[in-house]
Amino acid sequence: MADKAQLQEAIKTQGEVVRKLKSEKASKEQIDEEVAKLLQLKAQLGGDEGKHVFVLKTAKGTRDYNPKQMAIREKVFNIIISCFKRHGAETIDTPVFELKETLTGKYGEDSKLIYDLKDQGGELLSLRYDLTVPFARYLAMNKITNIKRYHIAKVYRRDNPAMTRGRYREFYQCDFDIAGQYDAMIPDAECLKIVYEILNELDLGDFHIKVNDRRILDGMFAVCGVPDEKFRTICSTVDKLDKMAWEDVKKEMVNEKGLSEDVADRIGEYVSMQGGQDLAERLLQDPKLSQNKQACAGLTDMKLLFSYLELFQVTDKVVFDLSLARGLDYYTGVIYEAILSQTIPAPAEQNGADEAGVSVGSVAGGGRYDGLVGMFDPKGRKVPCVGVSIGIERIFSIMEQKAETSSEKVRTTETQVLVASAQKNLLEERLKLTSELWNAGVKAEVLYKKNPKLLSQLQHCEETGIPLVAILGEQELKDGVVKLRNVASREEVDVPRADLVDEIKKRTL
Amino acid sequence: MADKAQLQEAIKTQGEVVRKLKSEKASKEQIDEEVAKLLQLKAQLGGDEGKHVFVLKTAKGTRDYNPKQMAIREKVFNIIISCFKRHGAETIDTPVFELKETLTGKYGEDSKLIYDLKDQGGELLSLRYDLTVPFARYLAMNKITNIKRYHIAKVYRRDNPAMTRGRYREFYQCDFDIAGQYDAMIPDAECLKIVYEILNELDLGDFHIKVNDRRILDGMFAVCGVPDEKFRTICSTVDKLDKMAWEDVKKEMVNEKGLSEDVADRIGEYVSMQGGQDLAERLLQDPKLSQNKQACAGLTDMKLLFSYLELFQVTDKVVFDLSLARGLDYYTGVIYEAILSQTIPAPAEQNGADEAGVSVGSVAGGGRYDGLVGMFDPKGRKVPCVGVSIGIERIFSIMEQKAETSSEKVRTTETQVLVASAQKNLLEERLKLTSELWNAGVKAEVLYKKNPKLLSQLQHCEETGIPLVAILGEQELKDGVVKLRNVASREEVDVPRADLVDEIKKRTL
């Protein structure tokens, strides 16, 4: 707990920081952050009466999940986890923070988005940025050379949040990865099959999965005449093709990245190509590409991949697309990205935003990263890996919006029956019956009031979707029965107490 | 990525820190932490060849969960979540970090154990220390006045880890809380019922649940003659009675905390008392205690609580124990703690430790905290709360040790069938059948090899516990059948391909 003088000093310093930024006309984003910090310090100091006033909010870019959102999340997770288990995956978990060192040098420019922990004496730690690097660390540390695992957990990026589009600073990743030395493209094909199954089951409308290969991209750049040292930066420009027109991408290549016009035009020809196995075959005949060893290896694998995808019956949604160029440095072979066709309507409360209907974009992506584990191994031993990551927050956003427009109510509990009474002084009897139901595995609730009105007990059922009410009264107790009421139909029937559990289970199957 | 000169500078500075601590004969703990930091910096610098050498470890006090541990964790969570749902609870989730401000002033002396995030420009953040304070913040922020919720998530404490005893710096809490203005002791009794049900179902051996009340403790201290300002510190001394003999506790009270001998002796008489409803009734007649308003209120509620526990049939395990004094400042009424009777055998690899068999101790605890939400509300509006937290890491430790000594193997996947072949060149056929099974919802695996040996396919089943193998061969394909093999009994039977899914489902119910 900071002392008052210290706080006042800190407020003064922070005030100067804000004034300086304003005078320098710094970005709104930056000023807002510093102002928030200032307000937080002021709040810590408290008001006039010395009363502590809290800033009641979650940290920027994070959110609470309320019970309704949790119910949706559970539904989505169940579908995804069932699919991972159907494919024989195990699961692991790793800590939320890693030695800072472990994350260093894996994310290129995005390293600036890593959250560091304060040095409180001890190790230097950072919050995990994804689940892939901790997975590679886990494999190297435990000398595991093959595993098929999934991992669902939160990761952290100090990015500019766009929460209305499902982009947060704390968000879930659902990763599935296959590590091990296997015959070509079989695990890769299974990853695509999994994406296909999950997107189908989630019922989010039409989608397609773009596939490409790092080696094909590199080969293409080489034969187009891109200098080696520009591969990465040109690659990240190509990656913008899903948001920008070719003309603008070309401008960036020529004006900002210094490519000559005709090199850019040659790239332009390739990156407009889309197809399936046929395109891979055609490009293997391409007079320039076929001369490049990297490109040939990639194209041969692509052909093989499509033959497996055919067996898995997923080729209707998979497109070999030469413009796909995912960001991360660590990919070494096949890469892919799944894109939903539908757009999300812009939320009503989002005034001033010029996005009339936001395209959801990528909801899953992944690829092959054969070098990452070797980066951790003291002897550099490689473990080939391929995996996929499901972008669950965007999927939650869609499901939440669907639930809002749907007439069907989202239930947040699974309660089967409320134990109620119409008369006074029956609390003990209600508690006793509730306990009997719990002991028999029935999901049951009872209002925590001595003498609740029957109406408020029935209202509780209406509000929360509890389908049944077990009503106790003097007469029922005397007769050894319970009045079982169906909330929706208002039908009531007397059930012998000994049969109650069976009757409830039968009605709530 | 730090540059080399910077790193060398940092290493030099850190080296001096270590030397200084050693010359000052600082604690081993402190020196070790700084040495670890030094080694980490050195590793970052890399070896002679400039090759990067990683420190391959998880952060101190944290651990990875391997697939076997995850399988156990899933089993434990399922039991706990089922119980919470049986009692009609919803679930929420909150971010892993909160504004530092939100956590400040809630944990008394333990505040020093909070992990802060580095100030990277923006808000000042800390990792959550428990799930109770974020829950209170959530209620105040969303103006929620009643909810029954559970929350299972990791919390963070920079404590001295004792991992062999299930104590970590990152660990799970499973919390169940009831918020709302209700009639006395009904939600409190339900919390105890839940602890009882969970510990019973987890099958961890005998246990008992101690119950006391903050108001009874305060009243007791008052009538014994403890000065008001010493209530807290005497309370924390009493809290040591589960680990220390009364004589030593008394010594601490008299010698360290400055109580007079007879005040301590009067406390000693009370804190040796244990019982049930009868004890509450007897103490209500106690000439001194009955004069104290606080104590009377607590004892009256305790009597009522036991009458509800009677209806819930859990009084066999619940003990009213006047020596129970849980640490946290925010409790206002009833408090409780569940204790397992069994001891854990000390792990073999833990050499040098003098703990021959560690008593597991508390695995659940909680109580009533009617003031916490009001601390966050701008107008100080109170929301009464009562809750319980299950100490899941200790339970994992016990379950893991049980699994190790048990002959039954822990399965880490749920795969029902492996699609195999005894002949070469059947990869495509294996993939096709596997895909058919996935599409029908069967959990199926296939080895990622073109031509695996039948023996290695069968071995994979033995190792991972897959119960069935679907074997394809030229003959089977011709006959339109699949050979279904039971791994355990080695029995084989030809099943028409059209019946395969049903047959597998029937055999793996």
Nearest chain B residue to A314 by CA distance is B435
Residues from chain A that touch B179, judged by Cβ atoms under 8 A, are none
Q: Is the pLDDT of residue B344 over 70?
A: no
Neighbour tally for B404: CB within 10 Å: 10
Query: pLDDT value at position A166?
Result: 67
What is the average per-residue pLDDT within B103-107?
A: 86
* Residue B3 pLDDT level (bands cut at 50, 70, 90): low
Contact A413 B88 (CB under 8 A): yes
Q: Look-up: residue for tokens 């050499």? A: B351
**From A85, A101, A375, residue closest to B55, measured CB to CB:** A101
Query: pLDDT value at position B117?
Result: 96
**From B91, B99, B444, residue closest to A59, measured CB to CB:** B99
pLDDT in tens, A335-362: 999 999 876 555 544 444 344 445 667 8
Query: pLDDT value at position A157?
Result: 95
Q: Is the pLDDT of residue A18 over 50?
A: yes
**From A67, A115, A313, residue closest to B92, measured CB to CB:** A67
Query: pLDDT value at position B50?
Result: 45
Rounded CA gap, A175 and A392, in Å? 10
Query: pLDDT value at position A21?
Result: 86
We find that the CATH architecture of domain B67-405 is: 2-Layer Sandwich (3.30)
Nearest chain B residue to A34 by CA distance is B122
C-alpha dist (Å) from residue A480 to A290, A435, A475, A500, B468: 85, 17, 9, 11, 50
| Residues linked to residue A179 through DSSP beta bridges, in sequence order | A147, A385
Rounded CA gap, A316 and A207, in Å? 10
Interface test with A, best of B316, B431, B459 (most A CBs within 10 A): B431
Query: pLDDT value at position A352?
Result: 40
Residues from chain B that touch A97, judged by Cβ atoms under 8 A, are 59, 62, 170
- Class for domain A417-507, per CATH? alpha beta
The b/e string for B126-159 (b: 16+ C-beta within 10 A; e otherwise) is bbbbbbbbbbbbbbbbeebeebbbbbbbbbbbbe
**From A43, A71, A91, residue closest to B101, measured CB to CB:** A43
Three-state SS letters, A461-493? HHHHCCCEEEEECHHHHHHCEEEEEECCCCCEE
Question: Who's near A387: CB < 8 A, 6+ residues apart?
Answer: A132, A135, A175, A176, A177, A178, A191, A366, A367, A369
Is B6 strand, coil or helix? helix
* Residue A215 pLDDT level (bands cut at 50, 70, 90): very high
What is the average per-residue pLDDT within B301-317?
A: 97
Contact B444 A70 (CB under 8 A): no
Q: Is the pLDDT of residue B438 over 70?
A: yes
Rounded CA gap, A173 and A151, in Å? 8
Three-state SS letters, B362-393? EEEEEEECCCHHHHHCCCCCCCCEEEEEECHH
Say if strands A125-127 and A97-99 run parallel, antiparallel, or are unpaired: antiparallel
**From B33, B86, B117, residue closest to A122, measured CB to CB:** B33
Please tell me which residue, B357 or A206, carries the higher pLDDT value. Answer: A206
pLDDT in tens, B35-76: 877 877 776 665 544 455 668 999 999 999 999 999 999 999
Contact A97 B59 (CB under 8 A): yes
Domain spans, chain B: 4-45, 67-405, 417-507
Chain A nearest-CA distance from B155, in A, is: 10
Rounded CA gap, A133 and A375, in Å? 10
Q: Is the pLDDT of residue B215 over 50?
A: yes
Rounded CA gap, A289 and B85, in Å? 60
What is the average per-residue pLDDT within A224-229?
A: 92
Is B24 strand, coil or helix? coil
Q: Is the pLDDT of residue A93 over 90?
A: yes
* Residue A499 pLDDT level (bands cut at 50, 70, 90): very high
Between A36-45, A469-478, B361-370, B382-391, the lowest mean confidence (pLDDT) is in A36-45
Say if strands A207-213 and A318-321 run parallel, antiparallel, or are unpaired: parallel
Mean pLDDT of chain B: 90
A291 token code pair: 């001369």
What is the average per-residue pLDDT within A315-329?
A: 89
Query: pLDDT value at position B19?
Result: 87
Residues from chain B that touch A435, judged by Cβ atoms under 8 A, are 193, 311-313
Between B117-126, B241-250, B327-336, B465-474, the lowest mean confidence (pLDDT) is in B327-336
Residues from chain B that touch A441, judged by Cβ atoms under 8 A, are 86
Half-sphere exposure of A132 (CA within 13 A, CB side): 24
Rounded CA gap, B28 and A504, in Å? 62
Query: pLDDT value at position A88?
Result: 97
Q: What percent of chain A has pLDDT over 70?
A: 92
Nearest chain B residue to A185 by CA distance is B448
Q: What is the ipTM of this complex?
A: 0.86
Give me Rg for the CA atoms of chain B: 29
Question: Who's near A411: CB < 8 A, 6+ residues apart?
Answer: A71, A464, A465
Q: Look-up: residue for tokens 């060149």? A: B425
Query: pLDDT value at position A328?
Result: 65
What is the average per-residue pLDDT within B460-470?
A: 96
Chain A nearest-CA distance from B34, in A, is: 6
Residues from chain B that touch A312, judged by Cβ atoms under 8 A, are 431, 435
pLDDT in tens, A365-391: 999 999 999 999 888 899 999 999 999
